[in-house]
Structure 1
């Protein structure tokens, strides 16, 4: 038995209870979690923005230690420290053949094991986003783990599995920020903090953070922001004023709301680039007229998992952490238990804090 946070049905609070986690089968391994981050995607699964079979164990951003391996597992052994990879690529679909592994057709459906965990009464539990990290231990496919970068505490390394890969990739792969450019970041949550630090690593000359909460200014500036704007109806004008009247070269939207996406786009210069990281609902409709698209010459780009290849990018990010260029611990504003996850969701909705981290 192991403790886990279960989603019984959408729009219901997570329930912390004991679950049965059998020995790993062929191609599977068992991981004892050190920590798991509470991500906005987990909230989106609970409120129905994203669909998930229920009942389910959510959580997808985590790191831990392998405790057992099943038949056929060759790359890992008990005692290895690993980072969970919630979107493993198949390597053979059309997207993978193009090198766009973050768009793999099987990433969200091809690795989860619905027989790997059950409730006390025998009810099978779906592994939310393949890895079911809101649990003391989990059983996952071998391709759902990556070696944890050496020299990084596992409680910090948990953030690498989603927030940091997404934020780093949004800057370096999607927006492709160049040295000396100006960047505006909308939303100073876990991913937004990773974007701010990554923009600094990329050599951005001006980094503007935008959030609804004045209380996040200190957090944003510590992550690399040179300017801070409290979101309002005039945000785009304020950003243009801060950038000499032209607008930022790059905007990264980490909120997932139609109004914020539109504002991010408007806050860039002619020819500017907007990358949308936030996950919004189907009801969030963004509109543009044909003339302004022509006149401004801007680009608007979606971004999935930072357009990252985790196997390629994790070692690079690990080196940034070891060199002191990327501070993982500073992104965490709250250490919690499994039972505190609903309160962490409430804080997320209210725009309070950075990353909440479940520490086991």
Structure 2
């Protein structure tokens, strides 16, 4: 069912060849919807580290592929079985497209799921993404935007927000406990600081860039620590703030070689470390959506792309101090909705670097690769939708 006149073609930024820049093409609008699909007019598309991995052929992507797996927009058409969305609804798109429904993660329970390894992923593998005027998405993984949440905020939350929110949820902390975020001032980290404060946790933010430390402070972290001082100084400052114990849990958002060890060292005995955003560079294409994120969470070693192939945990941390270490990727559809409600209630915002239209893609990529990005890079695909939101959105 369509709500407006939908054109036959549209502009899209596509990966045509690996290790080459995006090419802006005129392509058909994907109006052939499966029963559970939505067609949205894209308002904002966001850039993620995984987009670079797609460009370099690391994700096993079939080409051509329209980039971006973070997007927001307005529903213009719905599939025949869709009941919970209608035209004109404002939505945050999901990453997953057509999960299998049969694997363990699809069967649940939701609290223990990670993602469907058999699904397609918008802008990554098997489905086109949001660097386009229109996008075909799976309604089961989309989320309606609360009235107070803007398209600009929602697009980066579709992946970066969902990723770090899930990490904080998995930490399993109670109000008033201490949590640390290592890599706290990047695209994911500055959101994680705000989420943790909204959940009434005490927050330690650790970063190694001036830009990251500034965003950590802005996000409201109770303690902000410069990782460039070295592990000994970082651990000392954390213990001084936590009655000599260390934090109850740490979410590691950095892909620095020593970040996992640092995360363990600042976590109290029997505490939990949740690893997200391990952006390992594979030597061969990855058949599943196993790797993710970490666009702007750079420790000094990473400025030279010295990314680790493995997460290294010191033996004494794992055994003698009983640090519980687990990995996490993305949140469930319900958790995405919960996140958006938290964003609306507490006025959580994304520090966005906005570029107008696909014609500015090169400038966005240049900023992202410079290591000077503060927060997330977004592309405004449809200014009219943003103008229509009013002034009360965040």
- TM, length-normalised to structure 1: 0.83
Contact 1:197 1:326 in 2 (8 A): no
**Who is 1:136 aligned against?**
133
Q: How many residues align?
A: 338
Partner secondary structure for residue 96 of structure 2: coil
2:339 is equivalent to residue 317 of structure 1 = yes
Contact 2:270 2:322 in 1 (8 A): yes
CA shift, 1:264, in A, is: 1.9
**Alpha-carbon distance between aligned partners in 1 of 2:312 and 2:162, rounded to the nearest angstrom:** 29
Q: Against the structure 1 CA distance between its residues 176 and 326, is the aligned structure 2 distance closer, same or farther, given a 3 Å change threshold?
A: farther
1:27-42 alignment, distance < 5 Å: 27=35, 28-42=37-51
Gaps of 5+ in 2: 1-8, 283-307, 382-394
CA shift, 1:289, in A, is: 5.3
**Who is 1:279 aligned against?**
278
Gaps of 5+ in 1: 113-125
Residue by residue, what CA displacement relative to the aligned partner does 1:86-109 show, whole Å, maximum 9, x if unpaired? 1255443212323134332333x2
**Alpha-carbon distance between aligned partners in 1 of 2:325 and 2:196, rounded to the nearest angstrom:** 18
Residue by residue, what CA displacement relative to the aligned partner does 1:238-269 show, whole Å, maximum 9, x if unpaired? 23333225433222111234322232222322
**Who is 1:115 aligned against?**
none
Q: Against the structure 1 CA distance between its residues 213 and 2, is the aligned structure 2 distance closer, same or farther, given a 3 Å change threshold?
A: same
CA shift, 1:70, in A, is: 4.2
Partner secondary structure for residue 25 of structure 1: coil
Contact 1:164 1:191 in 2 (8 A): yes
Q: Against the structure 1 CA distance between its residues 288 and 275, is the aligned structure 2 distance closer, same or farther, given a 3 Å change threshold?
A: closer
Partner secondary structure for residue 162 of structure 1: helix
CA shift, 1:358, in A, is: 1.1
1:167 aligned residue (164, 167, 170) = 164
**Who is 1:253 aligned against?**
252
- TM, length-normalised to structure 2: 0.77
Contact 2:368 2:377 in 1 (8 A): no
CA shift, 1:191, in A, is: 1.1
**Who is 1:352 aligned against?**
373
Partner secondary structure for residue 203 of structure 1: coil
CA shift, 1:22, in A, is: 4.1
2:329 aligned residue (299, 304, 313) = 304
**Who is 1:60 aligned against?**
69
Residue by residue, what CA displacement relative to the aligned partner does 1:262-295 show, whole Å, maximum 9, x if unpaired? 3222232222221111132245223345444211
2:196 aligned residue (196, 199, 205) = 199
**Who is 1:119 aligned against?**
none
**Alpha-carbon distance between aligned partners in 2 of 1:229 and 1:38, rounded to the nearest angstrom:** 27
Partner secondary structure for residue 271 of structure 1: strand
CA shift, 1:196, in A, is: 0.5
Root-mean-square deviation over aligned CA pairs: 2.6
Q: Against the structure 1 CA distance between its residues 73 and 319, is the aligned structure 2 distance closer, same or farther, given a 3 Å change threshold?
A: closer
2:348 aligned residue (299, 317, 327) = 327
CA shift, 1:161, in A, is: 1.4
2:24 is equivalent to residue 16 of structure 1 = yes
1:26 aligned residue (31, 34, 51) = 34
**Who is 1:105 aligned against?**
117
Contact 1:239 1:248 in 2 (8 A): no
**Alpha-carbon distance between aligned partners in 1 of 2:74 and 2:87, rounded to the nearest angstrom:** 7
2:105 is equivalent to residue 95 of structure 1 = yes
**Who is 1:145 aligned against?**
142
Partner secondary structure for residue 274 of structure 2: strand
Contact 1:61 1:161 in 2 (8 A): yes
